[in-house]
Amino acid sequence: MMTKSDVGLRSERGPILLAVMVATGVVAIDATIIATAVPAIVGDIGGFAQFPWLFSIYLLTQSVTVPVYAKLADTLGRKPVILFGIAVFLLGSILCGVAWDMTSLIIFRALQGIGAGAVLPITITIVGDIYTLEERARTQGYVASVWGIAAVAGPALGGLFAQWDFWRGIFLVNIPLCLVAFWLLARNYHEKVEKRERRIDFAGSALLTAAFTLLLLGVLEGGAGWAWDSPISFGVFGGGLALLVVFVLVERRAAEPVLPLWVLGRPLLRATAVVGLAVGAALIGLTAFVPTYLVVGLHVTPLVAGLALATLTIGWPIAAALSGRLYLRIGFRSTALIGATLVVLGTVVLALLAPAPSIATVAIVGFVIGLGFGFAAVPTLVAAQASVGWEERGVVTGANMFARSIGQSIGAAVLGAVANGVIAAHGGNENDPATIIAASTAVFVGAAIVAVLLFLATLLMPRERRADAAPAPVEPAPITGPITGLG
């Protein structure tokens, strides 16, 4: 059993939170910043047919490594894992900045994703360690807002570097930010981990990584790299499922499994994982398609479209901060239900009004959906973290982040396939406003369906039997208090 960390002194928490936000921001922006710079990249080093892999490989390596890093954080401690992730991400960024052709750039993007896979779950876990239950909603809201801002700022920065004819800058700009985050954590973040003999589940890690690599590869490339009903598609999905079965068998006998099966065996953790899955899918559906919907449908500038979508990023942290007071009064489940209801309401209204594009509609609805995400995503994550001790919090947080990453992968693939199908049915003209409006409407309907899944998942959360389970504010690290009824 590991001892509790001694992080969380109030004099340290400010620099630690800043480092967490910087590290999260760099990883989040790098997922989107490359989009608007693709023409400049292809024009310089070629490889037009391969450029979709710049997105797929980053998302793939990031997603499949999250559970592995999360388990290592519970085994070795948070600090070595997060510093390793930042260092690998920094190395990948430097190499991307000097890539000489598309193949090398894709390989180095994979390295970036391997580093990002460590940053994602560990930053959220650290916040769960050093802040009390009352404070966690506000601080998690800050971190969540970073993702929303990145969705808007990423493409804008990419376009700016492309306009300057310096696409390599989108990777090299990571260098000072990674160094700042690394230094702040190395200097201010201290933890005490009990020294004992540890067993790292290499077999489980390899099987999990290989299984989800194949499954995510099938989702990302299905309908694009090959047909959904092609032999290669069946082979990729079949191989992934077979490896997943072997993984489950291995984990049942592992002394310290990389992804303990109890994570999906507890009702609360199972429900919050589905919430994360739905949040990821709905979020990618909105952030990926709303800008094109407005730019092509209304002929507005990308900046105006980004500002309209930015209301979502404003609503999220506001609701996340308010949710802390709310869930202490009415419980995690009730707070999450309020959020899920707002997401359903917002996405349904957006889908109904989509045939008549309006910046005001997108801005108002986006704000409502952002409020919903804040009230749903943060309380469910905090509930999952609060239901376990320090030695299990990394795995639980990683499972939630993994579910959200999988949701984004599946959402991007499925909603993208829906949009492409509608575009093809309308003649295939991607510059025709009527065609893009029809395709976007179909995507927003899909997002509304995902929102209903989000609502159902929150309904499945167990009711808390006690509302007085907040830990003492003097010692924020050990969130192991008597929160009963949480699975």
| Both structure tokens of 483 | 């929160």
Per-residue pLDDT, 190 = 84
d(Cα 403, Cα 457) in Å, to the nearest integer? 13
Assess contact for 287 and 309: CB atoms under 8 A.
yes
**Which residues neighbour 235 within 8 Å (Cβ) at sequence distance 6 or greater?**
none
| Both structure tokens of 367 | 């704000």
Per-residue pLDDT, 107 = 93
d(Cα 313, Cα 136) in Å, to the nearest integer? 18
Assess contact for 91 and 367: CB atoms under 8 A.
no
DSSP state of 35: G
Question: In tens digits, what is the pLDDT along the chain, a chain of 487 residues?
Answer: 334 444 444 447 888 888 888 998 888 888 767 766 777 888 888 876 677 678 778 877 888 888 888 888 878 888 999 999 999 999 999 999 999 998 999 999 999 999 998 898 888 888 878 887 777 767 866 776 676 677 667 767 777 787 788 889 989 999 999 999 999 999 888 887 665 566 777 788 888 888 888 887 887 777 767 788 889 989 999 999 999 899 889 888 877 777 777 777 788 888 988 999 999 888 888 877 887 788 888 888 766 777 787 788 788 878 887 887 888 888 889 999 999 999 999 999 999 999 998 899 999 999 999 999 989 988 898 888 888 877 778 788 878 888 887 887 778 778 877 887 888 888 877 778 888 899 889 999 999 999 999 999 999 888 865 434 433 333 333 322 222 223 2
d(Cα 363, Cα 341) in Å, to the nearest integer? 18
Q: Residue 75: which of 329, 372, 394 has the closest Cα?
A: 394
Place of tokens 């990389």: 258
| Both structure tokens of 397 | 């947080």
| Both structure tokens of 361 | 């509609």
| Both structure tokens of 244 | 């997943």
d(Cα 8, Cα 17) in Å, to the nearest integer? 10
Dihedral of CA 407/412/413/416: which sign? positive
Q: Residue 456: which of 332, 333, 365 has the closest Cα?
A: 333
Per-residue pLDDT, 465 = 54
d(Cα 129, Cα 16) in Å, to the nearest integer? 11
Task: Tell me the CA end-to-end span of the chain in Å, nearest whole number.
Answer: 21
d(Cα 23, Cα 146) in Å, to the nearest integer? 10
Radius of gyration, alpha carbons of the chain:
21
Per-residue pLDDT, 467 = 39
From the number of C-beta atoms within 10 Å of its C-beta (0-12, 13-18, 19+), residue 360 rates as exposed
DSSP codes joined into one string, 257-273: -SS-THHHHSHHHHHHH
| Both structure tokens of 399 | 């499972």
| Both structure tokens of 94 | 């430097």
From the number of C-beta atoms within 10 Å of its C-beta (0-12, 13-18, 19+), residue 44 rates as middle
Q: How far is CA 111 from CA 79, 101, 157, 178, 297, in A?
A: 20, 16, 22, 15, 37
**Which residues neighbour 200 within 8 Å (Cβ) at sequence distance 6 or greater?**
72, 75, 256
DSSP codes joined into one string, 17-86: HHHHHHHHHHHHHHTTTTGGGHHHHHHHH--GGGTTHHHHHHHHHHHHHHHHHHHHHHHH-HHHHHHHHH
Q: What angle do CA 61, 397, 391 make, to 5 degrees?
A: 115
Per-residue pLDDT, 34 = 79
Quickly count: other Cβ atoms within 10 Å of residue 74's Cβ: 25
Per-residue pLDDT, 466 = 45
- The model's pTM is 0.75
Q: For residue 228, give the amino acid letter.
A: W
